[in-house]
Amino acid sequence: MVEIDKEKCSGCCGCVDHCPVAAINVIDDEVVVDQDICMECLICTKVCPLGAPHEVAQA
Amino acid sequence: MTELYDVLIVGAGPGGAMAAKVAGENGLRAAIIERKTDIKAIHRICTMIINIDEENFAEYITYRNKRFIFPHNGFTINYDGPMRKIYGFHIITPCGNRFRIGDAIAGSKGEKPPVGLMIDKGLLNKTLVDEARANGVDVFTNTNINNVRKESDCVVITDNWGNEYRGKFVIAADGVNSRLARKLGFNKERIFLGTYKDYARAYEGVEIPEAEVLMFCMGWKCSISLAPELPEGHFHVSAASYDINQDLDAEMDRFLSSEPFATWFRNAKEIGHRTSCVSNIASPIQVPFKDNVLLVGDAGWMQETSIVGAIMPGWSAANAVTEALITGHINKEGVKNYLDWWDKYLFQPYGKRLASSGSAEIRDYLAAEDIDYLASLVPEVQPGTMNFFMIMSTIGRAFSAVLPQIQEERPDIMQKLMAMRSFPRELVLAKRRNEGCAIMS
């Protein structure tokens, strides 16, 4: 699954815009991945200029 | 059934905020929807400059009595906040040579007028939204609009919580990478020019000579820019590339540890939060209208239509929607004035040109010392401008005048320039398409 590293995230919302299935939203000014919608295409990890979205092992 | 608004505006940047203000003043039942909670917060890279006292999209903006005045279009906007004068645009070569568009030295002595005013864009947006709210416009923050559909009597937009909002018209001011433009199928007809990745660090205690300009530093593996920020001695340095795999961090470090830049930053300390932006760059849209959705600013453009290039369409679109509601033409015909305005002042003079942009990267052809040499050929300061198109034509004019000299002195550099010029655009775009992330439909 994909998570956002809050320390690295600038809040620019590039990943929000690029997500093909609108699985990433800004909620209370934090970028959040909706794991129910995410299909793990990893586009967000490629486009982020700060490397904030990253793949993690399923909890 | 939820309330039917006259107009829903998506995005509270300069374009959306201006549209909301105008909709409120015109007495429309309107709502503006923004995904951030704090409209004032800016997370994307921005130089926050408003071009003044020169032509820009057929407008000639000036600042007086705490207002930006747009005399050609016939409106003003209030701004009472911090400002910094900007005198132009400089290209800085690896050894520190400058190609100057605008005289920052004369400017800081008061001998030349500024061509841009740096402002607090967040404050500008908030001022506009507050004025809209005072005129009865509903403001929904913390709300991500993710979908749009047309029904027989209205447009329905849906947020991340599943709530629906209904409007006779929608103004999409959701910026570069506009989700509404994508969902409506606009992108299928656009030329994809690449995925542009950009990030910036902010520093205090920076000492840069001739600093009241935007500085574009050439000769690096990515595009490095330096820009002043509002407080004295504060600058941001950004690194950007069409290659999404490039290590922007490493190249920025290399830049900051090379002379003369290392000296400028020797007492500097990184501050605040990093800003960034990643854009799918696609050609401007000729007719920014579909299914009663009007696109304004970057949502219908390529990137960086600029603050004024967002405010003016926001103003025009909200007025056109008002006319449509008065005449009862809830359709394309009703908002004809906006589409004509966009075509006349944005698309025909500039949009077409941007659609054919995209060329071989100078860095793939010229070495650092070649760039140092080229800048040394034009020591004269060029007339100041902050108009992107004027900057481009100034560069073109200045260097075409010295082509014979280059041919004479450095035929090797001339050959490289010709090779770059004749490299097929299709191959440049294909390379970027392979490296980028094209989610265009």
Among candidate residues B198, B275, B234, the one with its CA nearest the CA of residue B41: B275
pLDDT digits over B342-377, tens only? 999 999 999 999 988 888 889 999 999 999 999 999
Could you tell me whether strands B235-241 and B192-204 are parallel, antiparallel, or unpaired per DSSP bridges? antiparallel
Contacts with B248 from chain A: Cβ below 8 Å: 49
CA gap A27, A40 in Å, rounded:
20
Answer yes or no: is pLDDT of B440 > 90: no
pLDDT > 50? residue B441? no
Which has the closest alpha carbon to B381: B110, B114, B116, B99?
B99
A14 touches chain B (CB under 8 A): yes
Tell me the CATH number of domain B87-112+192-281+359-441, given options 3.40.50.300, 1.10.420.10, 3.30.870.10, 3.30.9.10: 3.30.9.10
CB contact under 8 A, A12 and B277: yes
> Which chain A residue shows the shortest CA-CA distance from B42?
A12
Secondary structure element (H or E) that encloses residue A38, with its range: none
Sign of the torsion angle spanned by Cα atoms B281, B286, B289, B291: negative
Name which of A12, A15, A17 is nearest B275 (Cβ-Cβ): A12
Are the C-beta atoms of residues B149 and B8 closer than 8 Å to each other?
A: no
B393-414 residue pLDDT tens: 999 999 999 999 999 999 999 9
Asked if A20's CB is within 8 angstroms of B439's CB, the reply is: yes
Q: Is A28 on the interface with B (CB under 8 A)?
A: yes
Distance CA B336, CA B314 (A): 15
- For B373-398, give the DSSP string: HHHHT--SPBPP---HHHHHHHHHHH
Give dist(CA B59, CA A48) in Å, integer.
36
To the nearest whole percent, how much of chain B has pLDDT over 70?
A: 99
Q: Are A11 and B41 within 8 A, CB to CB?
A: yes
Look over chain B and give the mean of its residue pLDDT values, rounded to a whole number. 95
- B141 in contact with A at a CB cutoff of 8 Å? no
- CB distance B277–A49 less than 8 Å? yes
Nearest chain A residue to B176, by CA: A17
H-type helices in B78-224, by residue range?
104-108, 121-134, 179-183
Please check whether residue B32 is in contact with residue B6, taking contact to mean a CB–CB distance below 8 angstroms: no
Print the domain residue range for A22.
2-55
Residue B1 reports pLDDT greater than 70: no
Query: How many angstroms separate the CA of residue A39 from the nearest CA in chain B?
Result: 15
pLDDT band per the 50, 70, 90 thresholds, residue B295 = very high
Q: Tell me: the pLDDT tens digits for A17-53?
A: 999 999 999 999 999 999 999 999 999 999 999 999 9
* Average pLDDT over every residue of B184-193: 92
Counting the structural domains of chain A, the total is 1
Residue B435's pLDDT band (cuts 50, 70, 90)? confident
A16 neighbourhood in chain B, CB within 8 Å:
35, 144
pLDDT given at position B272: 83
| Residue B366 confidence (pLDDT) | 95
Find where tokens 């760059």 sit.
B281
In chain B, what are the helix, strand and coil shares in percent, each to the nearest 5? 35, 25, 40
The pLDDT tens digits for B269-280 are 999 889 999 999
| Percentage of chain B lying above the pLDDT 90 cut | 91
Given CB atoms, is B84 within the 8 Å cutoff of chain A? no
Return the bridge partners of B196, or none. Answer: B279
Domain with residue A43: its CATH number is 3.30.70.20
B37-65 pLDDT tens trace: 999 999 999 999 999 999 999 999 999 99
Give the residue carrying structure tokens 């919580």. Answer: B161
Q: Please tell me the predicted confidence (pLDDT) of residue A58.
A: 78
The domains of chain B are located at 4-82+120-191+283-355, 87-112+192-281+359-441
Q: CA triplet B428, B430, B436: central angle to 5 degrees?
A: 100
Candidates B56, B14, B49, B50; CA nearest to B34 is B14
Other CB atoms within a 10 A radius of the CB of residue B158 amount to 16
Contact B144 A14 (CB under 8 A): no
Give the β-pairing of B214-217 and B89-92. parallel
Whole-number pLDDT of residue B438: 63
Nearest chain A residue (CA) to B197: A49
* Assembly ipTM: 0.96
Would you say residue B321 has pLDDT above 70? yes
Contact status of A20 with chain B (Cβ, < 8 Å)? yes
**Cβ(B325)–Cβ(B26) below 8 Å:** no
Q: pLDDT at residue B338 above 60?
A: yes
Contacts of B274 in chain A (CB under 8 A): 10, 50
Q: Containing H/E element for B273?
A: strand B269-282
Give domain B4-82+120-191+283-355's CATH superfamily: FAD/NAD(P)-binding domain (3.50.50.60)
Taking CA atoms, B396 is separated from B104, B173, B399, B400, B411, in Å, by 21, 33, 6, 6, 19
Cβ–Cβ under 8 Å, residues B223 and B241: yes
Q: Report pLDDT for A26.
A: 96
**What is d(CA B347, CA B371) in angstroms, rounded to the nearest whole number?**
33
Q: Per-residue pLDDT for B125 more than 50? A: yes
CA distance A51 to B373: 37
